[in-house]
Each structure stands twice: as structure tokens, then as C-alpha cells.
């Protein structure tokens, strides 16, 4: 079993520059595209690599705000939810 200390979890979410912003009123969400960022925004984690062979470095691609949360916490649905979607950072993972 891994602890957070042995995982070496690191995140780097500096100041984001949105490439595009889309408001979807039917789905009650705002989507912010970060895929063409000049600066690195993402995280690295050794647990997935050690246990499952997953890549260590992940880059943030999309941030989605849903106003009426999709998920519940302790059976309570909050008014806002944020989801950050990541994909493998090809440059850092295979450099």
C-alpha cells in the first residue's frame, strides 16, 4: 500500500489561459478548454505507474463547471461541481 508521501504526488496548476469557453444551457454547464496551454498544468503520481503500469504524468485538458452538481456527497447534491479532465502528458511521460 502506498501513502501520499511515498507516492510523491505533485500538482502544478498555475494561472490558466482558457483557449475557449463554452456555455451549454441545456446541460447547465460551462466548459473551459485548456488543451493548447503554453504552460504546464497537471499532476504526476507514482501509484498508478507502480500498481497498474499507468503513465506518471497527466496534463489538464478540460475544466467543466456544472451548476447543479452531477454527483452527491453523503447524499447531498451541491449547487456547483467542478470536474478536471486529464490526459497523458506525452512529453513528460516519454521524455
CA distance 34 to 20: 8
Average pLDDT over residues 21-31: 91
- Residue in 83, 87, 68 with CA at minimum distance from that of residue 26: 68
pTM of the model: 0.71
Reading the block at residue 60, the C-alpha cell is 489538464
Question: Cell 478548454 sits at which residue?
Answer: 33
- Least confident stretch, 25-29, 58-62, 77-81: 58-62
Contact 57, 40 (CB under 8 A): no
Residue 2 confidence (pLDDT) above 60:
no
DSSP letter assigned to residue 76 = B
Average pLDDT over residues 17-38: 83
Q: Collapse the DSSP code of 85 into the 3-class scheme (helix H, G, I; strand E, B; otherwise coil) and give the result.
A: strand
Residue 38 confidence (pLDDT) above 70:
no
Residue 25 confidence (pLDDT) above 80:
yes
Amino acid at each position: 500500500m502506498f501513502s501520499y508521501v511515498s507516492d510523491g504526488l505533485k500538482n502544478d496548476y498555475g494561472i490558466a489561459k482558457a483557449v475557449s469557453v463554452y456555455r451549454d444551457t441545456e446541460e447547465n454547464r460551462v466548459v473551459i478548454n485548456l488543451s493548447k496551454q503554453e504552460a504546464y498544468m497537471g499532476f504526476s503520481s507514482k501509484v498508478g505507474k507502480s500498481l497498474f503500469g499507468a503513465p506518471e504524468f497527466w496534463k489538464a485538458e478540460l475544466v467543466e463547471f456544472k451548476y447543479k452538481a452531477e454527483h452527491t456527497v453523503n447524499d447531498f447534491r451541491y449547487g456547483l461541481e467542478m470536474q478536471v479532465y486529464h490526459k497523458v502528458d506525452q512529453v513528460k511521460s516519454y521524455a
